């Protein structure tokens, strides 16, 4: 996908009502599928909706998404601090309820729809209190019935003490907008979550007449607990390391093969190649050969895997120095990146007896194009 909805709304001021209708239809269609699986996205906003030149959109960034395994799609153990504030439902802003439903996503859809229609956020609150002020400025203070459903005593008291506000007619707030679209918007941003439609109910709204087709609006069975059995496991620090390293190996097939073979043949945990392990080996080598000048000045132990940080070779400060690499002649102070190799090779690295002191200049501190910076090896001034 080339862009996201936030960028599309920002740079295109010529979107037609047909664009708005098609975008909203796709968004609700995706949510219908997610909610039928009892999955809450919890962070819907224009930046989390990808878009392309064909006006096709996709919901992304499910990092805050959670699954409810109860018969009714609600949860009592999730945090209220989810979703970007401007698109956060009022029950999350004030911790109104001990549980919440997919209606929190429908509120976000309403805010996104309003932003499509006007080109600017509907409730750009500076903080949670300001957010609630903006919501009540448009929707009015909640009714006594709605207040009675709020279980959080502090939130109920705060809203009860708020000065009385009458709701603003949407036709005044959004002039020149299709009344059918405004009716759907008013349903989506209802203060009471029970008054908001589900994704399936919203798709049946007259606003989508001629576009909605139940045959192209898929749903699925709720996700089984067995698919999330891994979340019940109690992981130790070593278990987390193992899982993280196993995930990294998926991008390094050769190392993955070594890992799998080692696990089958040796039946033991993989030895992680780390900077700490290399330092221990180097320290032990220096301790063992403390009196041996030649051994002490020899290059440090090279790392085994090419996917790990490579050695950096800094050129000599002598402007008349020869080329370090066969294919490049760097100027003074330049940095040549080469993979780790043993001394006395074609790269021109100095031998153990003539190892030069690393050049202490800012130019030599540039990061290599591998994972991170590694040891900077000086180049002998007498390179053949």
Which tokens sit at 23?
A: 């975008």
Backbone φ/ψ region at 348: left (φ over 0), alpha (ψ -120 to 50), beta: left
Please, is 105 exposed, middle or buried when counting C-beta atoms within 10 Å of its C-beta (0-12, 13-18, 19+)? Answer: buried
Asked if 348 contacts 328 with a C-beta cutoff of 8 angstroms, the reply is: no
Given the residues 4, 13, 14, 43, the one annotated as active site? 43
Considering only CA atoms, give the Rg of the chain.
Answer: 31
Q: Residues 269, 271, 275, 276: what is their CA dihedral angle, to the nearest 10 degrees?
A: 70
Q: List the beta strands (DSSP E) in the chain.
A: 3-4, 39-40, 49-51, 57-59, 66-67, 312-314, 335-337, 376-377
Q: Catalytic: 43?
A: yes
Q: Which residue has the tokens 């809450």?
A: 40
Angle (CA) 87 91 95, round 5°: 115
Tell me which residues are annotated as active site: 43
């Amino acid at each position: 996908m080339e862009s996201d909805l936030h960028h599309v709304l920002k740079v295109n001021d010529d979107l037609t009502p047909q664009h708005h209708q098609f975008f909203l239809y796709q968004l609700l269609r995706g949510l219908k599928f997610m909610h039928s699986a009892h999955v809450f996205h919890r962070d819907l906003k224009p930046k989390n909706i990808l878009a392309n030149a064909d006006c096709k959109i996709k919901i992304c960034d499910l990092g805050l998404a959670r699954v409810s395994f109860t018969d009714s799609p609600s949860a009592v153990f999730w945090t209220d601090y989810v979703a970007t504030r401007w698109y956060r439902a009022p029950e999350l802003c004030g911790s109104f309820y001990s549980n919440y439903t997919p209606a929190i996503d429908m509120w976000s859809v309403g805010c996104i729809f309003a932003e499509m229609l006007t080109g600017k956020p509907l409730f750009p609150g500076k903080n949670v209190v300001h957010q609630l002020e903006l919501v009540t400025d448009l929707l009015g203070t909640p009714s006594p019935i709605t207040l009675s459903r709020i279980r959080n005593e502090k939130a109920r008291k705060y809203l009860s003490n708020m000065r009385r506000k009458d709701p603003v007619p949407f036709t005044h707030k959004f002039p020149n907008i299709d009344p059918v679209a405004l009716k759907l918007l008013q349903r989506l941003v209802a203060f009471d979550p029970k008054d908001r439609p589900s994704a399936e109910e919203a798709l049946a709204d007259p606003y989508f007449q001629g576009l909605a087709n139940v045959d192209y609006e898929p749903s699925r069975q709720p996700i089984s607990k067995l698919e999330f059995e891994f979340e019940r496991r109690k992981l130790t620090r070593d278990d987390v390391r193992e899982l993280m390293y196993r995930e990294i190996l998926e991008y390094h097939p050769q190392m993955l093969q070594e890992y799998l073979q080692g696990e089958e043949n040796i039946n033991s945990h993989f030895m992680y190649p780390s900077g700490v392990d290399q330092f221990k080996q180097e320290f032990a080598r220096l301790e063992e050969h403390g009196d041996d000048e030649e051994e002490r000045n020899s290059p440090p132990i090279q790392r085994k895997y090419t996917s790990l940080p490579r050695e950096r070779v800094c050129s000599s400060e002598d402007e008349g120095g020869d080329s370090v690499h066969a294919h490049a002649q760097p100027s003074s102070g330049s940095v040549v990146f080469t993979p780790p190799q043993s001394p006395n090779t074609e790269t021109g690295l100095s031998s153990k007896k003539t190892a030069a002191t690393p050049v202490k200049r800012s130019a030599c501190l540039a990061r290599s194009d591998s994972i991170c910076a590694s040891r900077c090896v000086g180049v002998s001034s007498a390179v053949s």
